[in-house]
C-alpha cells in the first residue's frame, strides 16, 4: 500500500481551514461572472499563476481581494459546500471551518447572507454526505478589539449554531493581548476559543494565546519550538496545535517541508494535527498535507494514525462521536494491509 492509499483510507478531522481560502479558480471566476465583479484574471491558469507569495501579508492582500466575488447567500453556500464535498472525498469525517465575517460586512454584505449561506451548506453536507462540521468565527487582528466585540454582538442570532470564536490575520504588530477582552467575553458566553499564533509571530504570541487568551487550541504554533518550557507546557496540558505544513511552505515560513517542526513536536508529546489552511491558494488539501509530511519527515503508518487520532482528540465534538472516529482509525490500521483502500 502506498502512502497515498493509506492516507486516503485514514479517517480524519480537519480543524484549520478558512472557507474564503477554499475558493478554487474555476468557482472564483464563475462567481465573478455571476455577480458582475471585475477581476484581474480571465482564466484559471492566470489566477493560479498569481498564487506565488513572499509572506503572509502578500497572501492576505490577494485573499481579501478574492473575497469580493462572494456577494450573495448562494455564493457563501457554494464555496462552503464545495469544500465539504472535497473534504468528504479525502475521508474527513468532521470539519471545523473558519469564517471571517468582517471581511464581508465591511464591503456592505449583510451578515445574514454570509451566515445563512455557510450554515445552510454545512447542513446540506451532513444530510448528503454524513460529514459533520462546525463553524468558528474569526476576528481579524488588524482591526480593533471594539470592532471584534461589535461583531460578537451582531452574531447573537446565530450563537446556537456556532462552535466558537478565534483570531486570524497578520500577526506582525497585532499581539494577542490586543484582544484580551474579546476572548474573555467569548469564554464568558460559553464558546470555545482558538487563536492563530506563532506562524510569523514569536513564541511569546503562542504563550500569550495560552495564558492570556486561555485558548482551547493554538492555530499553527510553529514558533513554540523556540521556548522549551512552552513546549513542555503545551505537551503537559495537551493544548492542540492545528499545523498547516503546505501553507507554511507556500508562505515561506519554512524553506522546505523537511524543516517543519511537526515531527519534533509530535515526538515531544504534543497534540499536533495536520490541516490545509487555505487549500486552493496553497495547492494542497488535507490529504496532500499528510502525504507531504510522510514523505519529507519520514512518518510511518502509526505516526499518520496518531496525527489522525489527535485531530479527533482536538475537535470540538461529542465524546461518543470522538470515540467512534478513533475506533475507525484503529480498524483501518488493522485491516489496511490486507484490504488496501477499503472503507466501511
In a domain, 34, yes or no: yes
Give the pLDDT mean for 27-39: 94
pLDDT-derived band at 35 (thresholds 50, 70, 90) equals very high
Check whether 269 has a pLDDT greater than 50. Answer: yes
Contact call for residues 158 and 115 (beta carbons, < 8 A): yes
- 75-134 pLDDT per residue, tens: 999 999 999 999 999 999 999 999 999 999 999 999 999 999 999 999 999 999 999 999
pLDDT over 90 percentage in the chain = 89
Give the pLDDT mean for 215-227: 98
Q: What are the start-end ranges of the E strands in 91-209?
A: 92-99, 132-140, 164-168, 192-197
In a domain, 331, yes or no: yes
Instruction: Show which residues are catalytic.
Output: 199
How far is 79 from 104, CA to CA, in rounded Å?
A: 14
pLDDT over 70 percentage in the chain = 98
Q: What is the CATH number of the domain that holds 126?
A: 3.20.20.140
- 230-246 pLDDT per residue, tens: 999 999 999 999 999 99
CA distances from 45 to 26, 27, 29, 40 (A): 10, 13, 11, 12
DSSP letter, residue 21: G
In a domain, 340, yes or no: no
Predicted structure pTM score = 0.95
In a domain, 344, yes or no: no
Number of domains making up the chain: 1
pLDDT of 344: 37
In a domain, 178, yes or no: yes
Check whether 30 has a pLDDT greater than 90. Answer: yes
In a domain, 217, yes or no: yes
In a domain, 227, yes or no: yes
In a domain, 153, yes or no: yes
Helix (H, G, I), strand (E, B) or coil at 236: helix
Residue 234 cell numbers, joined:
503545551
- 63-87 pLDDT per residue, tens: 888 899 999 999 999 999 999 999 9
- Higher per-residue confidence, 167 vs 341: 167
Closest CA to 270 of 236, 304, 321: 236
Provide the residue range defining the domain that includes 10.
Answer: 3-335
Check whether 50 has a pLDDT greater than 50. Answer: yes
Give the pLDDT mean for 198-226: 98
pLDDT-derived band at 340 (thresholds 50, 70, 90) equals very low
Check whether 341 has a pLDDT greater than 70. Answer: no
pLDDT of 66: 83
How far is 130 from 122, CA to CA, in rounded Å?
A: 10
Amino acid at each position: 500500500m502506498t502512502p497515498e492509499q493509506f492516507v486516503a483510507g485514514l479517517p480524519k478531522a480537519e480543524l484549520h481551514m478558512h472557507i474564503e481560502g477554499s475558493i478554487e479558480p474555476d468557482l472564483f471566476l464563475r462567481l465573478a461572472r455571476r455577480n458582475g465583479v471585475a477581476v484581474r484574471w480571465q482564466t484559471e491558469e492566470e489566477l493560479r499563476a498569481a498564487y506565488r507569495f513572499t509572506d503572509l501579508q502578500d497572501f492576505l492582500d490577494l485573499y481579501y481581494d478574492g473575497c469580493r466575488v462572494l456577494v450573495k447567500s448562494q455564493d457563501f453556500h457554494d464555496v462552503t459546500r464545495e469544500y465539504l464535498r472535497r473534504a468528504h472525498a479525502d475521508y474527513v469525517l468532521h470539519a471545523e471551518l473558519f469564517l471571517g465575517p468582517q471581511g464581508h460586512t465591511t464591503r456592505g454584505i449583510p451578515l445574514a447572507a454570509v451566515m445563512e449561506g455557510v450554515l445552510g451548506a454545512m447542513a446540506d453536507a451532513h444530510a448528503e454526505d454524513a460529514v459533520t462540521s462546525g463553524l468558528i468565527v474569526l476576528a481579524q487582528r488588524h482591526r480593533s478589539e471594539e470592532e471584534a466585540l461589535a461583531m460578537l454582538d451582531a452574531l447573537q442570532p446565530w450563537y446556537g449554531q456556532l462552535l466558537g470564536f478565534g483570531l486570524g490575520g497578520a500577526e506582525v504588530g497585532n499581539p494577542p493581548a490586543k484582544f484580551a477582552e474579546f476572548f474573555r467575553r467569548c469564554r464568558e458566553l460559553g464558546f470555545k476559543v482558538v487563536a492563530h499564533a506563532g506562524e510569523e509571530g514569536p513564541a511569546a504570541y503562542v504563550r500569550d494565546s495560552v495564558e492570556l487568551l486561555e485558548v482551547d487550541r493554538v492555530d499553527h504554533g510553529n514558533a513554540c519550538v523556540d521556548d522549551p518550557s512552552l513546549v513542555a507546557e503545551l505537551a503537559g496540558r495537551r493544548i492542540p496545535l492545528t499545523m498547516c505544513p503546505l501553507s507554511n511552505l507556500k508562505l515561506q515560513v519554512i524553506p522546505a517541508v523537511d524543516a517543519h517542526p511537526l515531527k519534533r513536536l509530535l515526538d515531544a508529546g504534543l497534540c499536533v494535527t495536520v490541516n490545509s489552511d487555505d487549500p486552493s491558494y496553497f495547492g494542497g488539501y488535507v490529504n496532500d498535507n499528510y502525504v507531504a509530511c510522510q514523505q519529507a519527515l519520514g512518518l510511518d503508518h502509526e505516526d499518520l494514525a496518531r496525527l489522525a487520532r489527535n485531530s479527533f482528540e482536538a475537535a470540538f465534538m461529542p465524546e461518543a462521536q470522538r470515540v467512534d472516529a478513533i475506533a475507525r482509525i484503529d480498524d483501518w490500521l488493522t485491516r489496511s494491509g490486507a484490504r488496501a483502500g477499503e472503507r466501511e
